[in-house]
Structure 1
Amino acid sequence: MKYIHFQRPGDADVLQLSDMPTPTPSTGEVLIRVAAAGVNRPDVLQRRGLYPAPVDASPVLGLEVAGEIVACGEGVTQWRVGDKVCALVNGGGYAEFACAPQTQCLPIPASLTLVEAATLPETFFTVWHNLFQRARLAEGETLLVHGGSSGIGTTAIQLAAAKGIQVFATAGSAEKCAACEQLGARKAIDYRAVDFVDATKQLTHGRGVDVILDMVGDDYIQRNISAAARDGRIVNIAFLNGSKVTVDFMPVMLKRLTLTGSTLRAQSAAVKETIAQELQTNVWPLIEQQKIKPIIAARFPLAQAAAAHRLMESSQHIGKIVLCN
């Protein structure tokens, strides 16, 4: 099969189309003929040599796919050959075929194409786990999403708004702010022009926000603490600007804040299975009803993975980037 290969860490040009044997599904796995694969920030970090694959995972890039099941490993009971699924994979998505644990596969929502469905697993698993499982975000609360125009951001805005949460977001241009508001954010803040701490305080009449989803880090860590309401929860899922800072923790104590975070790839199979089950119960109906929709910024053929990574690194996109077979 064709797949995307790189011999050494480096810039996007190290990505090359190559050949390798088609994988064989292990016990509990299915083999998917990949119609499309989502491109995510962890792929870029892995390509740079900053986010190595776990020892038990495929070294091939790609954490989410959609396509048709063409083979089932021993012990697979949830799916059959011919079923169309989207899946969170343990690597291997940038290829014509990929293996996925049966418990990390989900049906294709009837309202979506396979290409659209390929954008769901990584972002929806991440957002659901961090906002609704870890931060316990609830109807009637307020949420601040940093990076609102990213794949994670557009997912978080739509999902939270559909769940009755008042959403604010930050983004880096008027165009991106407008897109966030069209997706359900009550107000999007251009962080290049306005201080988000002051803006959120004004928008909440001085109270602050209940939950903050951050992928920036650096000076945002202290500023998030300032923007949070009493008993607020701050969730970090990445540190694009750095993770090492000096922080005054006194407001954390005085406001009774919770600081938490996680990475998805390192979660156990049992945790990922639980997330998948909760998504199918709580989120897939919203997609079926078209209350939530994938936002695709660009589609590239598999052979143009380098161009897809360059777009990701430019941060000029709004929504998800997809590789198509």
Structure 2
Amino acid sequence: MGFKKRRVKLEDIARRLNISIATVSRALDENPRVKKSTQEKVFKMAKVMGYMPNQIAKSLSSGKTNIIGVLIPRYDEPFFIEVCRGIDQYARNHNYKILISSSRNSYKFEKENLISFEKGLVDGIILSPTHETENVAHLNDLINKGMPIVLFDNIREEVSGADHVIINDEKASFEAVEFLIKKGNKKIAFIGGIKQKKVFQDRYKGYISALAHHNIPLYDELVLHCNSLDREFEDKEILNFFRGLNISPDAVFACTDNYGLLTMKTLLKIGKKIPDEVAVIGFGDLGPGEIFVPTLTCVSQPSFEMGQKAAELLIKQLNESEDIDHIKTIIKLETKLTEREST
């Protein structure tokens, strides 16, 4: 038969040592008002009894949890995993921990998660808004209440009071498509994500701008905006797209690494040679493209650095004096094209 173990409290340690709860609390905080010998006794007893500090209780007295809330649209996207790694590394180096949650690409869940964060669990928030986030009133409300916020990636409009970390998606896409054009490709397909998402809108703008700049025709048939938010269905969408084409593309610009790899998988499945018949460029350069055969040419996005910069900006806000107004900062990171075997 199992048993339920009661969590050890400060009063339990105090009772065993026959001292006050206040003394135990001060000793665990290494308060100089408590003698070193008493501190040592308290720490030893706490260890023997298996005492674990109550973070929520500590935050009530200090007003800080030293926890950063991170809200991303999905867990299965390598880009967001890499950004979170960057946030975590910088945060831990500055004595903060991170609490990651997903909005599951839902504006409703985004708001619910932010409400949970607001209820005292985190000191500040790093957020990538969903494609459904057209109204930022909920973010402005948090900022007006004093919650430090940093936004990254899919920022539909600038939010006053929140710092931003971004890349120039349109410029990066223009350069990738221009690279394909300069290699002699004239029937270039576009594969992006859901139309409502700002980053995919900007990458599509870069694609059509590059075609127009070089007088290359835009074939509507060669444009796919994936509606799926699940990898299994994205795979099927891309396969159906290529099987249904009447025009054979000689190159593909894919808006993520995932779309790029699924594109190459599909092209090989239907008997196309890469890059002899079809060249492929992805966007992200987050690792898997280097081990696929052929290796994937990518727009290299500084995802890890984006996470580091987001954490740096947030912690800077957390350390600012409450007496001064926060000066909004926008960091725009550079991308580069990494050429591999797929082009």
Structure with greater strand share of residues: 1
Larger radius of gyration: 2
TM-score by length of 1: 0.35
More helix by share: 2
